[in-house]
Amino acid sequence: MVYGTVYDIPRAIGQVDVSTFCSVLLHLRDRFLALCNAARLTRETILVTDVVVPDASSETATPTQRLPLMYFVPDFRKGDPLAAWWYLTPEIVAAFLGLLGFKKSEVTYPTQRSRWGDKPLFSVVAKRT
């Protein structure tokens, strides 16, 4: 057993074939650092699945809506507890991963079904090139 955080993944883990981020990045203040640390140890593939940004990252979004964007979620005026820091589009995730050497990526749009209703997601599967 090796303990660590996404901000400081212990090298003792060694190299891995696949790293996954499943609904994690939206909760992190520094998404790129977390991806950098995983990429350092990943030989082949990184998978990122996250919540679809309303009207901005669905398969039917217009080209201008499909830009690599992040949306800052917290609003100090509302005083709401922080459930998430960011909404990310699949395009920004693919851009991050491309910078880290995982340039060949594919985006899909699965749906998470639950008793509380369906939640649209996106998945980016990126291969090291």
CATH code where residue 93 lies: 3.40.50.150
Any domain includes 112? yes
Any domain includes 34? yes
57 has a pLDDT exceeding 60 = no
Which tokens is 66 given? 């499909």
Any domain includes 71? yes
- Polymer length in residues for the chain: 129
pTM of the model: 0.84
Own/partner contacts of 61-68, CB < 8 Å, gap of 24 or more, are: 66/91, 67/91, 68/92, 68/94, 68/95
Q: What is the mean pLDDT of residues 81-93?
A: 83
Domain that holds residue 94: 18-127
Looking at residue 63, its pLDDT comes to 54
Any domain includes 2? no
- Percent over 70 (pLDDT), the chain: 86
Q: What is the mean pLDDT of residues 96-119?
A: 94
Cβ–Cβ under 8 Å, residues 109 and 89? no
Q: What is the mean pLDDT of residues 84-92?
A: 87
* Number of domain units in the chain: 1
Reported as type and span, the H/E element at residue 90 is helix 90-99
